[in-house]
């Protein structure tokens, strides 16, 4: 019988979601904070973290927010939101705003919690 995946949970007294993973090589356990409990972002981070953990043979992945600069912690959702706020002041046409809304929604759906820095490698203007 296969083992159940580590549970997505909310510690008492916190509004954040958390998952605890165990490293099969060392036996060490580590908590990963996922974001606001029941949010789409925290669920996405939970599934991504489990996939990375499983793909690495249940070896603990490095925490994404410890020891990294704030630039590397910026997500695609944050960039998309900043662009959305700017676009509403710049574009006058309802059709332009509608097109941007559709594109932003798709970008957020597919890449929302992806670190924005990971897009730099393929960005053609750098």
Instruction: Tell me 61's DSSP state.
Output: P
Domain boundary among 50, 67, 84: 67
Q: DSSP state, 17?
A: E
pLDDT at site 97: 93
Q: Are residues 55 and 88 in the same domain?
A: no
Q: How many residues does the chain have?
A: 126
| Chain-centre distance for alpha carbon 103 | 19
Give the pLDDT of residue 70. 44
Distances (CA, A) of 108 to 24, 70, 77, 79: 33, 20, 6, 10
Q: 33 pairs with which residues across the strands?
A: 18
Question: What pLDDT, in 10s, does the model give residues 2-44?
Answer: 678 999 999 888 888 999 999 999 999 988 888 899 999 899 9
User: Is the same domain home to 48 and 79?
Assistant: no
Asked if residue 6 and residue 62 are part of one domain, the reply reads yes
Over residues 48-101, the pLDDT tens digits come to 899 889 988 999 887 664 434 444 577 888 888 888 888 988 998 999 999 999
């Amino acid at each position: 019988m296969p083992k159940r995946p580590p549970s997505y949970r909310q510690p008492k007294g916190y509004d954040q979601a958390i998952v605890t993973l165990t490293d099969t090589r060392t036996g060490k356990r580590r908590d990963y904070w996922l974001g606001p409990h029941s949010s789409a972002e925290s669920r996405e981070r939970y599934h991504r973290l489990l996939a990375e953990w499983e793909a690495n043979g249940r070896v603990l992945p490095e925490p994404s927010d410890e020891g990294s600069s704030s630039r590397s912690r910026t997500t695609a959702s944050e960039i998309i939101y900043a662009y959305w706020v700017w676009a509403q002041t710049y574009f006058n046409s309802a059709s332009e705003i509608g097109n941007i809304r559709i594109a932003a929604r798709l970008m957020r759906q597919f890449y929302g919690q992806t670190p924005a820095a990971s897009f730099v490698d393929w960005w053609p203007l750098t």
